[in-house]
Amino acid sequence: MFAMPTADSTNVVRLPTLKVECRDCALFQLCLPIGVEGADLALLDRIIKRRRPVKRGEYLYRTGDSFTSVYAVKSGSFKTSFFTESGSEQVTGLHLPGELFGMEAISSGAHCCSAVALERSSVCEIPFDQLENLGAQIPSLMRQTVRIMSKEILRDKHIMQITKNSAPARLAAFLLSLSDRFHERGFAAWEYRLSMSRIDIGNYLGLADETVSRLFTRFQEDGLLAVDRRHIRLVDVPRLKALAGAAAGHGLSRPVGGGAAYPRPLPAHVPEDQAGLLDWDPVYRIGVETIDRQHRQLFDIGNRFYSAWRQQTRRSELCRIFDELLEYTGYHFAEEERLMQQIDYPDLIQHRSDHAQLVKRVKQYRTRIKAGTADAERQALDFMKTWLQTHVLEADKDIGVCLARKRA
């Protein structure tokens, strides 16, 4: 299984240090053994080959090689790619610990791309003919194989969709996608080591590598990321999510590399029905009466701040309302974390970390508003709107689901 960080270490994902043993693997829900137990797991364990470590730059297979096996990443990471007729490389995938790859060759019997280690890595090799034979004996094994293949297809579809967006939206979506994949493995979602080079990332997303470098710099300057070579920390996740969801044809400003840009905040003269905060709607309910009531209160405070801003209320009043938002946010997060402890919520640590980041961000906007920073109120409103959406619809919905399961 993965060697989890000790209590006095940081929970940053460093791929070469992650170890996966097949039996009792911590990634059993991401790899083949899900639903395979006891004697069946022993049969599967017998056919898996543990290969020697693969050096950085070493190939597992090349385009045109005969298909014999699929591979599960034990540690490190792998890139798959092929060369076009013009001789340029096209990156097709990044594969992390616990993920299977090599399945694209099942239909043709030959690999249509090459797989190379991005760092010192290791894999489990699973001979496909033996896997098929074993699948006839263990139906759950083949169901899991199909599930994994379906997940890979959806991931490829997602990449195809985001490459139609603006350059900043593509990079934001890519970084958030990696965050989700690390989170599935039980590691810090917002801090990880990026094994792909800027050139490979650009190739994968359909961007020039110069554009990718400029975007990383711009994201860091705007407080979205903290970047130290290949060490990435996502600082402002709500804004990254808003950026990732921005449509390619949206109004743009601040060009970056070939006309790519950030979505421009709506100007003050935009009609209220187009620029206001979200109204409370039953869709935001998570099924926990206390938390739903607190969420509604957060919406009310946000809307009062918006109304005061529209009416050009004095800065002291805006600060007072924002102080109320900050105070109530702290109260709400404490109540939410207490509930998560009571129901043994599995993502409590990550949720608590997200809460701390959000409180820090709210305090920063409070400071900027009090100092009279240009457009601080407008930016705070944009932040609140995105936060209320992502906090309730994405993060807190899972709490309601978890509680419903506990009650059942």
Model pLDDT, residue 13: 38
Summarize the confidence of residues 319-323 as an average pLDDT. 87
Model pLDDT, residue 350: 81
**Which of 17-21, 162-166, 219-223 has the highest average model confidence (pLDDT)?**
219-223
CB contact at 8 A, 308 and 321: yes
DSSP 278-333: PPP-GGG--S-HHHHHHHHHHHHHHHHHHHHHHTT--HHHHHHHHHHHHHHHHHHH
CB contact at 8 A, 71 and 125: yes
Retrieve residue 68's tokens. Answer: 């014999």
- Classify 240 as helix, strand or coil: helix
- What value, to the nearest 5°, has the Cα angle with vertex 386 and ends 383 and 392? 125
- Which residues touch 148 (CB under 8 Å, ≥6 apart)? 31, 32, 100, 103
Nearest CA to 15 out of 152, 118, 91, 167 is that of: 118
Q: How confident is residue 171, by pLDDT bands cut at 50, 70 and 90?
A: very high
What are phi and psi for residue 10, nearest 5 degrees? -80, 155
| List of domains in the chain | 15-153 (2.60.120.10), 167-263 (1.10.10.10), 272-407 (1.20.120.50)
Distance CA 124, CA 127 (A): 10
Higher pLDDT, 58 or 21: 58
Q: What kind and span of H or E run contains 73?
A: strand 69-75
Strand partners, 81: 91, 114
Q: How confident is residue 58, by pLDDT bands cut at 50, 70 and 90?
A: very high
CB under 8 A, 24+ apart: contacts of 367-376: 369/315, 369/318, 369/319, 369/322, 370/315, 370/319, 372/315, 375/265
pLDDT digits (tens, 9 = 90+) for 240-287: 888 887 433 333 233 333 333 333 333 333 333 334 466 777 777 888
pTM here? Answer: 0.52
